[in-house]
Structure 1
Amino acid sequence: MSNSHMFLPSGFIRTPLQNGLGRYIPQLQRITLKFCKNHGGSRGVRDFIESDLMEFAKTNPGTVVYLKPRRHRSPCMVAEYLNGEREYLSCHEFSRDEVHKWLSYMCTRSGIPVMRFRKYQHTDYPTVQGVWNPFTHQAPEINIAEFPHEVLSRPLDHGPTATEQLIEIFKKTQIEDPANKPPEL
């Protein structure tokens, strides 16, 4: 087991501006692709730009794409999010598919830094009643009962089911008005 999680900042799950409750707002504001026009390590980025960049720009109209050619430098991607965070990724020796995958990964991120979670649930307004679970309102005699128990093992009688009630209503309407009888096959 690795202890690399110990060096991550810890926190709670946060959604930016309650994104997704009304409509989804993509959090990637702009992406900058920096590459060299002749260097071999930039081949995948150049291939992506030549073949897939226009399709990416059409499918993500809310994201601005900048291309920045640089001489004799290693290729990289810089993603800037609406919350002000920036993410840098070196694309040295990436293939065209790898550039596409990393770009779609950055599009789906919220920009919130990767962190380990302290708890599985968190609220800003804690309840005084405690956390609900399926056993909260169960009868306390179940805790000390030994099964099979004759009283607790009996099936509950809740009356007729919804299907039985509908069949009963249908039969009543047939008795009252025989003209509405469905045709027999």
Structure 2
Amino acid sequence: MSNKHLFLKPGFVRAPLQNGVGRYVQQLQRIVLKFCKTHGGSRGMRDYIEQDLVDFAKQNPGVVVYLKPRRHRSPVVVAEYLNGDRVWMSMHNKSQSEVTKWIEVLRTQQGDVSGTRLRKFQYTDHPSIQGPWSPFTFKNPELNTAKLPDPKFGANNRLPMSATEQLRIMFEKQRLNEKDLKTGE
């Protein structure tokens, strides 16, 4: 087992501000597009800026968009979120459609969750003193030592007769009646 988790920041994975309960709060706060005006690796980023950036800014008025031209550098997108996370993504030699897709991914996520060591797997604002529910919470403990299949624990003895079984019984009765009629003649 590795100790890689010791170097990750601890935290919880949960929707901040109970997102989606009252209203949706977009988590992306700021996005910085860094690119070179002449470098060939920035072509997809420049095409995105020329064709799609104005539409993105109109559709997302809560997101601040910064353009930062840099000489002879690879294109980079830096996204900053409400929880303080910063996600840095290289866009070197990506096409305009790929840049559009990655910016949409950054827009819809809530920060860098993958770099977080989880303290708990569940989180709630109103914790229960009984613990988390599981499918085995209210099961009979005799089930642990029973030899299965056991009619005592089976659900089939409580279910009504299926339609197939009813048809089979009707067919058997009809066949017996036909035999009785043939032998009675």
Q: Which moved more, 1:80-89 or 1:121-130?
A: 121-130
Query: Taking structure 1 as reference, are residues 6 and 101 closer, same or farther at Cα in structure 2, changes over 3 Å only?
Result: farther
Separation in 2 of the partners of 1:149 and 1:42? Answer: 68
Cα offset for 1:99? 1.4
1:8-40 CA distance string (max 9 Å, x none)? 334331321111112211111221212222222
SS in 2 for 1:120: coil
Structure 2 residue aligned with 1:130: 131
TM (norm. structure 1) is: 0.67
**In the alignment, what sits opposite 1:155?**
157
CA distance in 2, matches of 1:43, 1:151: 71
Question: Comparing 45-54 with 143-152, which one deviates more in the overlay?
Answer: 143-152
Taking the aligned partners of 1:75 and 1:152, their CA distance within structure 2 comes to: 64
Query: TM-score w.r.t. structure 2 length?
Result: 0.67
Task: Supply the distance in 2 between the matched residues of 1:94 and 1:2 (Cα, whole angstroms).
Answer: 34
Q: Identity of paired residues, percent? A: 58
The aligned residue for residue 76 of structure 1 is 76
- Secondary structure of the structure 1 residue equivalent to 2:121: coil
Relative distance call for 1:142 and 1:54 in structure 2 (3 A) is same
Q: In the alignment, which residue of structure 2 is the partner of 1:103?
A: 103
C-alpha contact (below 8 Å) 2:81/2:110 kept by paired residues:
yes
Distance, in Å, in 1 between the alignment partners of 2:142 and 2:83 is 53
Tell me, in whole angstroms, the C-alpha distance in 1 between the residues paired with 2:4 and 2:141: 44
What amino acid is the match of 2:78?
Answer: V
Aligned to 2:172: none
**Which segment is superposed worse, 107-116 or 145-154?**
145-154
Aligned length: 158
What CA deviation, in whole Å up to 9, does each residue of 1:53-97 have, x standing for no partner?
233223323222222323333322222222333333332322212
Partner SS, residue 31 of structure 2: strand
Cα-Cα RMSD: 3.1
Secondary structure of residue in 1 paired with 2:22 = coil
CA distance in 2, matches of 1:86, 1:152: 54
Q: 1:132 to 1:91 in 2, by over 3 A?
A: closer
Structure 2 unaligned runs (5+)?
Answer: 161-185
- SS of alignment partner, residue 134 of structure 2: coil
Distance in 1 separating the partners of 2:69 and 2:45: 11
Please identify, of 136-145 and 28-37, the stretch whose mean Cα deviation from structure 2 is larger. Answer: 136-145
